[in-house]
DNA sequence: ACGTGATGTGGAGTATACTCCGTAGCAAAA
DNA sequence: TTTTGCTACGGAGTATACTCCACATCACGT
Protein backbone atom coordinates (compact mmCIF):
# COMPACT_ATOMS: atom_id res chain seq x y z
CA UNK A 1 0.00 0.00 0.00
CA UNK A 2 3.05 2.24 -0.18
CA UNK A 3 1.69 3.73 -3.38
CA UNK A 4 -1.41 4.94 -1.56
CA UNK A 5 0.75 6.73 0.97
CA UNK A 6 2.84 8.34 -1.75
CA UNK A 7 -0.27 9.46 -3.58
CA UNK A 8 -1.87 10.74 -0.37
CA UNK A 9 1.16 12.85 0.50
CA UNK A 10 1.53 14.23 -3.01
CA UNK A 11 -2.16 15.03 -3.27
CA UNK A 12 -2.14 16.96 -0.01
CA UNK A 13 1.09 18.76 -0.83
CA UNK A 14 0.04 19.86 -4.31
CA UNK A 15 -3.40 20.83 -3.00
CA UNK A 16 -1.92 23.05 -0.30
CA UNK A 17 0.56 24.53 -2.75
CA UNK A 18 -2.42 25.42 -4.94
CA UNK A 19 -4.06 27.06 -1.93
CA UNK A 20 -7.15 24.88 -2.11
CA UNK A 21 -9.25 23.30 0.62
CA UNK A 22 -10.37 19.69 0.22
CA UNK A 23 -13.83 20.99 -0.47
CA UNK A 24 -12.71 23.43 -3.15
CA UNK A 25 -10.64 20.82 -4.89
CA UNK A 26 -13.49 18.33 -4.74
CA UNK A 27 -15.90 20.87 -6.20
CA UNK A 28 -13.58 21.74 -9.07
CA UNK A 29 -12.89 18.10 -9.87
CA UNK A 30 -16.58 17.32 -9.44
CA UNK A 31 -16.06 14.61 -6.87
CA UNK A 32 -17.18 14.14 -3.28
CA UNK A 33 -15.42 16.16 -0.59
CA UNK A 34 -15.31 13.25 1.87
CA UNK A 35 -13.58 11.19 -0.77
CA UNK A 36 -10.73 13.67 -1.07
CA UNK A 37 -10.37 13.43 2.69
CA UNK A 38 -10.29 9.64 2.45
CA UNK A 39 -7.68 9.69 -0.32
CA UNK A 40 -5.38 11.87 1.78
CA UNK A 41 -5.73 9.31 4.54
CA UNK A 42 -4.88 6.37 2.23
CA UNK A 43 -8.26 4.74 2.76
CA UNK A 44 -8.78 3.80 -0.87
CA UNK A 45 -6.74 2.89 -3.95
CA UNK A 46 -7.91 5.57 -6.38
CA UNK A 47 -8.46 4.70 -10.02
CA UNK A 48 -6.16 6.24 -12.61
CA UNK A 49 -9.13 8.20 -13.98
CA UNK A 50 -9.54 9.80 -10.56
CA UNK A 51 -5.80 10.50 -10.25
CA UNK A 52 -5.83 12.22 -13.63
CA UNK A 53 -8.89 14.32 -12.78
CA UNK A 54 -7.36 15.54 -9.55
CA UNK A 55 -4.05 16.22 -11.27
CA UNK A 56 -5.79 18.31 -13.89
CA UNK A 57 -7.18 20.66 -11.24
CA UNK A 58 -3.83 20.85 -9.50
CA UNK A 59 -1.86 21.55 -12.65
CA UNK A 60 0.20 18.38 -12.47
CA UNK A 61 0.19 15.05 -14.30
CA UNK A 62 -1.05 11.72 -13.00
CA UNK A 63 2.56 10.56 -12.99
CA UNK A 64 3.49 13.52 -10.79
CA UNK A 65 0.91 12.50 -8.21
CA UNK A 66 2.36 8.99 -7.98
CA UNK A 67 6.01 9.95 -8.02
CA UNK A 68 8.08 9.29 -4.93
CA UNK A 69 10.56 11.81 -3.60
CA UNK A 70 9.02 14.63 -5.67
CA UNK A 71 11.60 17.07 -7.07
CA UNK B 1 -9.89 8.30 -21.00
CA UNK B 2 -6.55 9.62 -22.20
CA UNK B 3 -4.84 8.34 -19.10
CA UNK B 4 -6.16 4.83 -19.74
CA UNK B 5 -4.69 4.90 -23.22
CA UNK B 6 -1.35 6.11 -21.93
CA UNK B 7 -1.30 3.42 -19.28
CA UNK B 8 -2.35 0.76 -21.79
CA UNK B 9 0.43 1.65 -24.20
CA UNK B 10 3.07 1.84 -21.48
CA UNK B 11 1.96 -1.45 -19.97
CA UNK B 12 2.18 -3.27 -23.28
CA UNK B 13 5.50 -1.69 -24.17
CA UNK B 14 7.18 -2.44 -20.86
CA UNK B 15 5.73 -5.94 -20.88
CA UNK B 16 7.12 -6.69 -24.31
CA UNK B 17 10.47 -5.17 -23.40
CA UNK B 18 10.54 -7.54 -20.45
CA UNK B 19 9.80 -10.41 -22.82
CA UNK B 20 6.67 -11.47 -20.99
CA UNK B 21 3.32 -12.70 -22.28
CA UNK B 22 0.13 -11.32 -20.75
CA UNK B 23 -0.28 -14.67 -19.04
CA UNK B 24 3.22 -14.69 -17.57
CA UNK B 25 2.89 -11.16 -16.29
CA UNK B 26 -0.52 -11.89 -14.82
CA UNK B 27 0.81 -14.97 -13.06
CA UNK B 28 3.77 -13.12 -11.55
CA UNK B 29 1.61 -10.21 -10.41
CA UNK B 30 -1.00 -12.70 -9.19
CA UNK B 31 -3.84 -11.20 -11.15
CA UNK B 32 -6.15 -12.50 -13.85
CA UNK B 33 -4.83 -12.95 -17.39
CA UNK B 34 -7.94 -11.58 -19.04
CA UNK B 35 -7.65 -8.48 -16.92
CA UNK B 36 -4.20 -7.71 -18.27
CA UNK B 37 -5.69 -8.05 -21.73
CA UNK B 38 -8.49 -5.66 -20.78
CA UNK B 39 -6.07 -3.12 -19.35
CA UNK B 40 -4.05 -3.09 -22.56
CA UNK B 41 -7.30 -2.37 -24.40
CA UNK B 42 -8.25 0.52 -22.05
CA UNK B 43 -11.40 -1.22 -20.87
CA UNK B 44 -10.97 -0.32 -17.20
CA UNK B 45 -9.43 2.44 -15.07
CA UNK B 46 -6.98 0.42 -12.98
CA UNK B 47 -6.51 1.27 -9.31
CA UNK B 48 -3.16 2.64 -8.21
CA UNK B 49 -2.56 -0.55 -6.22
CA UNK B 50 -2.88 -2.50 -9.45
CA UNK B 51 -0.60 -0.12 -11.34
CA UNK B 52 2.04 -0.48 -8.65
CA UNK B 53 1.80 -4.28 -8.63
CA UNK B 54 2.26 -4.48 -12.38
CA UNK B 55 5.10 -1.98 -12.28
CA UNK B 56 6.90 -4.05 -9.68
CA UNK B 57 6.97 -7.08 -11.97
CA UNK B 58 8.09 -4.97 -14.90
CA UNK B 59 10.85 -3.21 -13.01
CA UNK B 60 9.34 0.25 -13.34
CA UNK B 61 7.48 2.61 -11.01
CA UNK B 62 3.78 3.38 -11.01
CA UNK B 63 4.66 6.88 -12.21
CA UNK B 64 6.55 5.37 -15.15
CA UNK B 65 3.46 3.47 -16.24
CA UNK B 66 1.38 6.64 -16.31
CA UNK B 67 3.95 8.90 -17.89
CA UNK B 68 3.21 10.27 -21.34
CA UNK B 69 5.77 10.42 -24.12
CA UNK B 70 8.16 8.03 -22.36
CA UNK B 71 11.40 9.25 -23.95
C1' DA C 1 -4.69 -30.69 -41.39
C1' DC C 2 -3.41 -30.56 -36.58
C1' DG C 3 -1.50 -28.82 -32.16
C1' DT C 4 0.23 -25.07 -29.45
C1' DG C 5 1.06 -20.35 -27.65
C1' DA C 6 -0.78 -15.89 -27.31
C1' DT C 7 -4.59 -12.77 -27.14
C1' DG C 8 -9.57 -11.12 -27.46
C1' DT C 9 -14.00 -11.23 -25.58
C1' DG C 10 -18.46 -12.41 -23.28
C1' DG C 11 -21.08 -13.40 -18.90
C1' DA C 12 -21.73 -13.83 -14.10
C1' DG C 13 -20.15 -13.10 -9.63
C1' DT C 14 -17.38 -10.66 -5.77
C1' DA C 15 -14.64 -6.87 -3.97
C1' DT C 16 -14.05 -2.27 -3.61
C1' DA C 17 -14.01 2.51 -5.39
C1' DC C 18 -16.94 6.38 -5.12
C1' DT C 19 -21.25 9.13 -3.74
C1' DC C 20 -24.23 11.23 -0.49
C1' DC C 21 -26.10 11.78 3.85
C1' DG C 22 -25.11 13.07 8.61
C1' DT C 23 -22.34 14.20 12.84
C1' DA C 24 -18.31 15.65 15.39
C1' DG C 25 -13.91 17.86 16.46
C1' DC C 26 -10.72 21.64 16.40
C1' DA C 27 -8.64 26.22 15.61
C1' DA C 28 -9.27 31.06 14.89
C1' DA C 29 -12.13 35.04 15.07
C1' DA C 30 -16.03 37.79 17.18
C1' DT D 1 -19.33 31.40 24.41
C1' DT D 2 -20.74 31.32 19.72
C1' DT D 3 -19.70 31.18 14.85
C1' DT D 4 -17.16 29.88 10.85
C1' DG D 5 -13.95 27.18 8.00
C1' DC D 6 -11.76 22.99 7.49
C1' DT D 7 -11.24 18.15 8.12
C1' DA D 8 -12.24 13.33 10.05
C1' DC D 9 -15.31 9.77 9.92
C1' DG D 10 -19.49 6.63 10.08
C1' DG D 11 -23.25 4.17 7.34
C1' DA D 12 -25.80 2.95 3.31
C1' DG D 13 -26.26 2.82 -1.47
C1' DT D 14 -24.49 2.71 -6.51
C1' DA D 15 -20.90 2.19 -9.97
C1' DT D 16 -17.19 -0.19 -11.45
C1' DA D 17 -12.77 -2.67 -10.84
C1' DC D 18 -11.34 -7.30 -10.72
C1' DT D 19 -11.90 -12.58 -10.83
C1' DC D 20 -12.99 -16.80 -13.00
C1' DC D 21 -15.14 -19.47 -16.37
C1' DA D 22 -15.61 -20.69 -21.23
C1' DC D 23 -15.01 -20.20 -26.11
C1' DA D 24 -13.00 -18.10 -30.37
C1' DT D 25 -9.31 -16.41 -33.39
C1' DC D 26 -4.92 -16.00 -35.41
C1' DA D 27 0.00 -17.08 -36.28
C1' DC D 28 3.33 -20.38 -36.09
C1' DG D 29 5.57 -24.94 -36.51
C1' DT D 30 5.05 -29.94 -37.49
List alpha helices for B1-71, DSSP H: 2-17, 22-29, 33-40, 48-58, 62-66
At residue A69, the pLDDT reads 76
As a whole number of angstroms, the distance between CA B58 and CA B26 comes to 11
Task: State the nearest Cα–Cα gap between A10 and chain B, in angstroms.
Answer: 12
pLDDT tens profile A17-39? 999 999 999 999 999 999 999 99
Task: State the nearest Cα–Cα gap between A54 and chain B, in angstroms.
Answer: 12
**8 Å CB contact of B48 and A2:** no
**C-alpha closest to that of B39 among B3, B1, B11, B67:** B11
Q: Has residue B71 got a pLDDT over 80? A: no
**8 Å CB contact of A52 and B7:** no
Across all residues in chain B, what is the average pLDDT? Answer: 96
Across all residues in chain A, what is the average pLDDT? Answer: 96
| B45 vs A7, A49, A67: nearest CB | A49
pLDDT tens profile B24-48? 999 999 999 999 999 999 999 999 9
pTM of the model: 0.94
Amino acid sequence: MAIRQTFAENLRRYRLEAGLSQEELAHRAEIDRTYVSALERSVYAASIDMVARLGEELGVTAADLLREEPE
